[in-house]
Amino acid sequence: MKKLYLAYGSNINLEQMAFRCPDSKVVTTGMLSDYELQFRQVATIEPKEGSEVPVLIWELGGQDELSLDRYEGFPHLYRKEDIEVEINGETQKCMAYVMNGREISLPTAGYYNTIVKGYRENGFDEKYLVDALKQAFDYEQKIKQEECEEIAEESEELEEGIQMTME
């Protein structure tokens, strides 16, 4: 049975999908409304009113879904959700892999570049990728700052304890 699959991360890369899912065919490109792209080392989407994410809709055939399940770490890393999208004026359900709660974090350069290539192949605006990358960078910087402040506090407490024992 053929199934529609909504891709937003590395699976918008045509070469990667040809390797992973040789029976798949591109149906159309589009924008997924009220979601935002995030990096949690790898890409995911999260509901966010007023945001949008460029997507590539695939028709999966043969063993493509089983192959994707393995590559996407289903059901541990990603779960499957049916998401409604408009295709050629009709609302249709597409299966999407959505990450099971991990913290926002930067992707590897290789992974990011795979997505960049897919964005370029499909004529997507790279601003969405850059925004997600900036969000991950800012989040990691905030976490590092909080960790540094925590270490500084612990150091001060340790120093005070040492001084008290020396007196």
62 pLDDT more than 80: yes
When pLDDT is averaged across residues 67-85 and rounded to a whole number, the result is: 97
- 136, 38 contact by CB (below 8 A): yes
Domain boundaries, the chain: 3-166
Q: Helices 127-166 & 109-121, crossing angle to 10 degrees? A: 160
Specify the pLDDT at position 138. Answer: 94
When pLDDT is averaged across residues 25-41 and rounded to a whole number, the result is: 96
Question: Could you read off the pLDDT of 7-26 as tens digits, one per residue?
Answer: 999 999 999 999 999 999 99
- DSSP secondary structure code for residue 12 in this structure: G
161 pLDDT more than 70: no
Specify the pLDDT at position 53. Answer: 97
Average pLDDT value over all residues in the chain: 92
Please compute, for residue 30, the number of CA atoms within 13 A of its CA located in the half-sphere on the CB side: 21
Percentage of the chain surpassing pLDDT 70?
Answer: 92
Specify the pLDDT at position 131. Answer: 98
When pLDDT is averaged across residues 114-127 and rounded to a whole number, the result is: 98
More confident residue, 141 or 115: 115
Specify the pLDDT at position 1. Answer: 57
Number of H helices, E strands in the chain: 4, 5
Closest CA relative to residue 55, chosen from 17, 10, 18, 23? 10
Specify the pLDDT at position 144. Answer: 81
CA 52 to chain centre: 13
Poorest-pLDDT segment among 77-81, 134-138, 153-157: 153-157
DSSP states of 80-124 as a string?
Answer: EEEEEEEETTEEEEEEEEEE-S---BPPPHHHHHHHHHHHHHTT-
Distances from the Cα of 11 to the Cα of 68, 118, 141, angstroms: 9, 8, 28
101 pLDDT more than 90: no
What residue type is assigned to position 71 of the chain? Y
Task: From the options 3.20.20.70, 3.30.465.10, 3.30.360.10, 3.10.490.10, give the CATH code of 3-166.
Answer: 3.10.490.10
